[in-house]
Homo-oligomer: A and B are copies of this chain.
Amino acid sequence: MKNLRVNIEISSKLYLKNPDTSELGQSILSNSIELISEIGFEAFTFKKLGEVINSPESSVYRYFKNKHSLLVYLTSWYWYWTEYRLVFATINIDLPQERLMRSLDILTKPVLIDNSFSYINEVLLSEIIFSESIKAYHTKDVDEENKKGCFKAYKGVVQRVSDIILELSPEFAFPHMLISTVIEGAHQQHYFSKHLPALTDTNKGEVGISEFYKTLTLKTLDL
Interface residues of A (CB under 8 A from B): 40, 42-43, 131, 134-135, 137-140, 142-143, 146, 151, 154-155, 158-159, 173-178, 180-181, 184-185, 188-189, 191-192, 195-196, 198-202, 208-209, 212, 215-216, 219-220, 222
Known: A189-B180, A219-B220. A140 touches B201 (CB 8 A): no
Q: A195 touching B158 by the CB < 8 A rule?
A: no
Whole-angstrom distance between the Cβ of A72 and the nearest chain B Cβ? 13
Q: B185 touching A181 by the CB < 8 A rule?
A: yes
Whole-angstrom distance between the Cβ of A189 and the nearest chain B Cβ? 6
A140 — which chain B residues lie within 8 A by C-beta?
40, 42-43
Pick the contact of A142: B181, B195, B222 (CB < 8 A).
B195
One complex includes copies of this chain to the number of 2
Least CB separation from A221: chain B residue:
B219
A40 — which chain B residues lie within 8 A by C-beta?
140
Q: B208 touching A174 by the CB < 8 A rule?
A: yes
The answer for the CA separation of A73 and B162 in the assembled complex, in Å, is 38
Q: B198 touching A159 by the CB < 8 A rule?
A: yes
Known: A175-B201, A185-B181. A155 touches B220 (CB 8 A): no
A209 — which chain B residues lie within 8 A by C-beta?
177
The answer for the CA separation of A139 and B40 in the assembled complex, in Å, is 8
Q: A196 touching B155 by the CB < 8 A rule?
A: yes
The answer for the CA separation of A177 and B213 in the assembled complex, in Å, is 10
Known: A174-B212, A215-B220, A220-B216. A138 touches B135 (CB 8 A): yes
Whole-angstrom distance between the Cβ of A138 and the nearest chain B Cβ? 7
Least CB separation from A208: chain B residue:
B174
Can you list 9 A-B pairs, Cβ within 8 angstroms, ordered by A? A40-B140, A43-B140, A134-B138, A146-B196, A151-B196, A158-B198, A177-B212, A180-B192, A220-B220
Q: B196 touching A177 by the CB < 8 A rule?
A: no
